């Protein structure tokens, strides 16, 4: 799976997510400029001794990320023309403005799971760009009326492990070894 953070703001969250990616065999993408240096000790402390193993890709902006995602998906599917690639890309956004539940979506290998900033989520223009491609690719996690959102690293873990569960936890140790 590919985890995508759009302009993350809190180094501890990014460190936790980096560790999660290593432990789950996932890749981490950071889109735009994070609100901190990736060399900060807080990122590495949260990522513990896993940070050096992290498969990390940085994208300067949303468009360069979409180009990367589309090319990656085209390679997996054998290639199609540019417009068809863009229309069929499996880029999933998690937002409180979505109508579809994250748990009802059928996840597949190669999906890009996109999460927004801790304080403001994903910009409206990004949500609209994906909604135009396929509205079902905007997903939400139910929360109580008293809660606006969950912590970013908790949200990523919850979604990632649902996606991996649906696929049978590929590549992960499932049996307790004595």
Q: Greater confidence, 49 or 117? A: 117
| Model pLDDT, residue 86 | 44
Full-model pTM: 0.90
In a domain, 172, yes or no: no
The pLDDT tens digits for 65-107 are 999 998 888 887 776 555 454 444 489 999 999 999 999 999 9
Locus of tokens 């990014």:
14
Q: Which residues contact 44 (CB under 8 A, 6 or more apart)?
A: 15, 51
In a domain, 176, yes or no: no
Alpha-carbon distance of 176 to 71, in angstroms, equals 38
In a domain, 162, yes or no: yes
Locus of tokens 């807080």:
42
The domain that contains 11 carries what CATH number?
3.40.1280.10
Q: What percent of the chain has pLDDT over 70?
A: 91
Tokens of 39: 């060399």
Helix ranges, 27-178 (H): 41-47, 62-77, 82-88, 124-133, 152-166
Q: Could you please report the per-residue DSSP string of 53-87? A: G--EEEESSHHHHHHHHHHHHHHHHT---HHHHHH
The pLDDT tens digits for 113-158 are 999 999 999 999 999 999 998 999 999 999 999 988 899 999 999 9
* Domains of the chain: total: 1
Residue ranges making up the domain that contains 100: 2-166
**What average pLDDT does the structure give for the chain?**
89
Alpha-carbon distance of 62 to 165, in angstroms, equals 28
In a domain, 132, yes or no: yes
């Amino acid at each position: 799976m590919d985890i995508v953070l759009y302009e993350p703001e809190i180094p501890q969250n990014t460190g936790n997510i980096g560790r999660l990616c290593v432990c789950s065999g996932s890749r981490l993408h950071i889109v735009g400029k994070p609100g901190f240096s990736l060399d900060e000790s807080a990122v590495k402390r949260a990522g513990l001794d896993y940070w050096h193993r992290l498969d990390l890709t940085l994208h300067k902006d949303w468009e360069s990320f979409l180009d990367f995602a589309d090319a990656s998906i085209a390679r997996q599917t054998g290639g199609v023309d540019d417009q068809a690639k863009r229309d069929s890309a499996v880029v999933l956004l998690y937002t409180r403005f979505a109508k579809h539940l994250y748990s009802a979506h059928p996840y597949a290998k190669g999906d890009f799971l996109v999460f927004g900033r801790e304080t403001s989520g994903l910009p409206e223009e990004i949500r609209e760009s994906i909604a135009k491609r396929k509205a079902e690719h905007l997903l939400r996690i139910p929360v109580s009326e008293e809660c606006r959102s969950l912590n970013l690293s908790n949200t990523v873990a919850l979604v990632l492990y649902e996606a991996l569960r649906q696929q049978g936890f590929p590549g992960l140790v499932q049996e307790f070894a004595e």
